[in-house]
Amino acid sequence: MSPLAPNAVAPGSAQTGGPIDPIYRQIRDLVYNVSGIYQLEEKLYLLADACSRRMKEIQVASPRDYWDKLTAHASREGELRLLLNEITIGETCLFRSQPQLDALRKVILPEFAGERVKQVVKRLRLWSAGCSTGEEAYTLAMTMIEETEGLLKGWTIEIVATDLNDRSVEAAKAGVYGDYALRNTTDYYKRKYFTLVDEKKLQVRPEVKKLITFSRLNLKDDSKVLFMKGMDIIFCCNVLIYFDGPSKSRVVEHFFSNLNFGGYFFLGTSESLLKLNDQFHLVHFPGTISYWKPSLKSGKL
């Protein structure tokens, strides 16, 4: 069903099979306006499921009462954060967004290769900001290795991956993943870039790891973020959704200055920057959106 439809019949909920309570559309809009995460109409039942898990946890009886919790001054910030956790739970896996990787390989890298054709030392710096347990960083590393066998032959690739959480960073360094994290990883990549740990787990090979520097970083720590210079591409997926407006705005400004001219900044696939920065250009690639810091020669800054 679609918002193009003024009188659309509500979709069924996963739980009841019946029409979904219209309050979930209000919650969807609230979540979007605060965090930038948009829950598609056909996935609204997932939002309803996330809300019902929270409602059970805090013993709230009806979606209407839960709406009150999300909007009442005393509880709204904390509850919204917990709801966002529920919404994004289990999203992390390797090769999570094929349209982003396609944009990278089919449009962005050829663009970079064309722009840098005359440079003697060709290098590319990528940053996985809020890397959690490393899935995104390894996906980028494997993708870039594939490219250095063709389009980017002879290029130096450097990937920086940071997270606020020490334990996540340690897990990321280990690079051991089970079936769930590997659900989108093809056999080709599994064979080429992983070794078997046991029958249920695979570990990323050292030649992939050596492309990445993992470290702890708080994105709100201006003095540290300031030094992440010379980036070509920044991925920061489902991290800024937890930031309040001013903090988000500051981080995005840093990202803009961290990027080289012509660089790109990707958010999660259902995430928007809202209207927090007018320096980046919003650009569409097939199936995905990115924020672009125009090249100097494009004269569009």
Partner 1 sequence: MNTTTSAGLRERVARIKITPAIPAVLMPLLQLFNAPPEDANINEIVRLVSYDNSIAAQCLRVAGSPLFGLSKPPKSISAAVVSLGLNRVKSIVVTCCMGQAFPEKKWALPPVVFWRHSLGCALVCRKFCEKIAGADSEKAYLAGLMHDIGFLVNSLTFPEKFEAAINHARDAQTPLNEAEQAAMGFTHSESGELLAKQWGLAPEVITVIAHHHDAEYTGPAQGLVATVHLCDLLCRMRDMGYGYYERHKVDMVNDPAWITLAKEHKDLEGIDLVRFTFELDESITEIRNLVALVFGGQPES
Q: Where are the beta strands (DSSP E) in 149-258?
A: 156-163, 176-177, 194-198, 201-204, 212-216, 231-235
| One residue of 13, 41, 148, 276 binding partner 1 per CB under 8 A | 41
| One residue of 6, 17, 90, 206 binding partner 1 per CB under 8 A | 6
Q: Which of 252, 301, 300, 257 is nearest to 276 (CA)?
A: 252
Dist CA 193 CA 251 (whole Å): 33
Binding residue count for partner 1, defined by CB under 8 A: 34
Check residue 286 for interaction with partner 1 (CB under 8 A).
yes
For residue 174, CA distances in Å to 95, 160, 161, 187 come to: 18, 15, 13, 21
Applying CB under 8 A, the span of 3-11, 52-60, 166-174, 189-197 interacting with partner 1 comes to: 3-11
Pairing state between β 231-235 and 123-129: parallel
Question: Which positions from 13 to 32 touch partner 1 by CB under 8 A, shown as an x/- string?
Answer: -------------------x
Task: Give strand pairing partners of 159.
Answer: 126, 212
Check residue 102 for interaction with partner 1 (CB under 8 A).
yes
| One residue of 76, 256, 289, 295 binding partner 1 per CB under 8 A | 289
Q: Where are the beta strands (DSSP E) in 31-100?
A: none
Check residue 150 for interaction with partner 1 (CB under 8 A).
no
Nearer CB in complex with partner 1: 107/197: 107
Check residue 242 for interaction with partner 1 (CB under 8 A).
no
Check residue 12 for interaction with partner 1 (CB under 8 A).
no
Residue with tokens 């990787």: 101
The contact set with partner 1 (CB under 8 A) reads 1-9, 32, 38, 40-42, 102, 106-107, 110-111, 270, 272-275, 281-287, 289, 292, 300
